[in-house]
Structures are given as structure tokens and as C-alpha cells.
Amino acid sequence: MTSSPLVVGPAIGHSHTHTIIVLHGRDSEAQEFMAEFFECEATGSETDRTLPALFPTIRWVFPEAKPLHSERFHIEMSQWFDMWSVEDQQERAELQVEGLRASVDRIAKLIQDEELLVPRERIFLSGISQGFATVLATFFADGRGGFAGLCGFSSWLPPAAQAVSEVYEVAGNPSHQLAAMQRLYLGRDEISPLQMTSTPILLEHCRDDEVIDIQSGTRLRDFLYRFDMEVDWNEYQDGGHWFNEPQGVDDFVRFLRKNM
């Protein structure tokens, strides 16, 4: 395991125009996920239809989760935060909080590093499963928005029941709703209400996902609607707990091109 993110691109002869930070899922690692991610192909007439080939000016950044103790399995495993059950993400949700806040802090620092290279309106935050759950927490903890986009695959809102409860308590006041989310993910009470700059969001989920059921994805989508966010929701008949190919990859490519 490495603490430094893996970086690919931009391609030789191309300037760096955008960054995409991509977080792997639980019990995975950056190198393994990156290799499988870059095997995905879009449709089209290009000989090489992989993502690095289609976007030669993008800097792809793959951070790696640290090994954390699993309360349920009594082992250390690669995860952004501990969970009792992946299938039922709300079971013993209190286990998620400590690791999630630590990962939020870590990804926030990575974003700051990338902002030294390109402005945040040229930075996409992306991830699959627990990786995108961590992206969402980081996004709300930051509270400012203004990214090029968020791209989530097979994911959910962590910890959903507590987040929904926090927001419902201040329903009707967007800035106080955002402050409630910041308190949840930062663990601090001294939060000043903010006005979040718009960030487009892509969500993709396969109906046959046996790890994170599609209802978790639709609940996430509906929660984001409460913040009047621009959510591009896409669901697919098959693909399991991964990307639907080729349509899901095509939709991802379309979203990136639209918001670059």
C-alpha cells in the first residue's frame, strides 16, 4: 500500500487542462482499480477508446485508502472508513464516522494540492461505491462547491440516516442544511453557513448490483435533489457492482465532455 496517489497523464505532447481524482472501492487498491478502470471502453470510431486515450489533457489521480481495522472481520483491510455491512450501509453506522472524517481530511488536502495546478472548476471528483461515498462527504465538508463535476458509480450517502435527519431538522433553509452536513462530516460545531456554488453531478447504478442495491442509489439521488443540485441520473439493466459497458462509459464520457 502506498500513501502517495497514482497519477496518469496528461499524455505526452498535451498540456494539463483538467484533473480527475478517482477513489476506488472498499477492499481494493489504487493500482488494481486503475488498471480495471482504464480497461473500460466507450463506443466510437477511435482505435483506442479507453479513457486516457479519449482525454489526453486530463491528469488522472488515484489515491489509495489506508488499511483500517474491520470491527466485523477483525482484520485490517483497505477501506476509506469501516463498515459493519456493505449491503445494509446503515447497520452500526456509528462505525463509519471516525474513518470517514479522517479520509475527508485527506482528500481535502489532495484537492488543495491539485488546485495549485488547475483551478477547482477544472477538477472532477469521482469514485465507485465507498470511494464515491467518501467523495460526497468531502464535497459537503468543503461546502463551497464549484468543481467541474462529481461522478459517482454504484454508491450511496454515508451515513444516510444521520445525514437525512440532520438536514430535515433545518428543512427550508439551504445554508443551514449545508452547515448541518459540514458538522456531520467535519465533526465540529463552529460552522458558518455557506452558499454552495453549483456543481453538476453524474450518478450511475446498475439494476443488478448485488453489493449496493439500486435503491441506495436512488435515495442518494433524491437526497441531492433537496439541495437543488443538477443530478444526471443513469441506471442500467446490467453491469453489477461496476460500470455498465459500453453505455455507462459513454455516459461518463459525455458528462466529462459537457463539463470540461
Tallying the residues shown for the chain, one arrives at 260
**82-96, 163-177, 192-206 — which is least confidently predicted?**
163-177
pLDDT at 65 over 50: yes
Pairwise CA distance, residues 207 & 213, whole Å: 7
The partner residues of 205 in beta bridges, in order of sequence, read: 235
Instruction: Tell whether the model's pLDDT for residue 1 goes beyond 90.
Output: no
Domain residue limits at 234: 6-259
Report the distance separating Cα 240 and Cα 233, nearest Å: 17
Residues 107-127: pLDDT tens digits?
Answer: 999 999 999 999 999 999 999
Separation of alpha carbons 60 and 17, rounded Å = 11
φ/ψ of residue 170, rounded to 5: -120, 35
Does position 213 have pLDDT exceeding 70, yes or no?
yes
pLDDT at 161: 63
pLDDT bracket for residue 2 (50, 70, 90)? very low
Q: Is the pTM of this model over 0.85?
A: yes
Identity of the residue numbered 161: A
| Paired residues of 131 in beta bridges | none
pLDDT score for 160? 57
Angle, alpha carbons 231-184-162 (nearest 5°): 75
* pLDDT of amino acid 233: 98
Half-sphere exposure of 187 (CA within 13 A, CB side): 11
Domain count of the fold of the chain? 1
In a domain, 95, yes or no: yes
pLDDT at 123: 98
pLDDT in tens, 25-52: 998 999 999 999 999 999 986 778 999 9
In a domain, 255, yes or no: yes
Q: Is residue 165 part of a domain?
A: yes
Give the model's confidence band at 226: pLDDT under 50 very low, under 70 low, under 90 confident, else very high.
confident
Question: Is residue 159 situated within a structural domain?
Answer: yes
Q: Average pLDDT of the chain?
A: 90
**Residue at 138 is within a domain:** yes
Kindly state whether residue 1 falls inside one of the protein's structural domains.
Answer: no
215 pLDDT more than 90:
yes
Across the range 121-144, mean pLDDT stands at 95
The CATH number for 86's domain is: 3.40.50.1820
Query: Which position has the higher pLDDT, 165 or 107?
Result: 107
> Is 242 a member of any domain?
yes
DSSP strand pairing (149-153 vs 201-206): parallel
Please report the pLDDT score of residue 222 as a whole number: 92
The cell numbers describing 198, all together, are 453549483
| Element at 124 (helix H, strand E) | strand 123-128
Of the pLDDT bands very low, low, confident and very high (cuts 50, 70, 90), residue 194 is: low
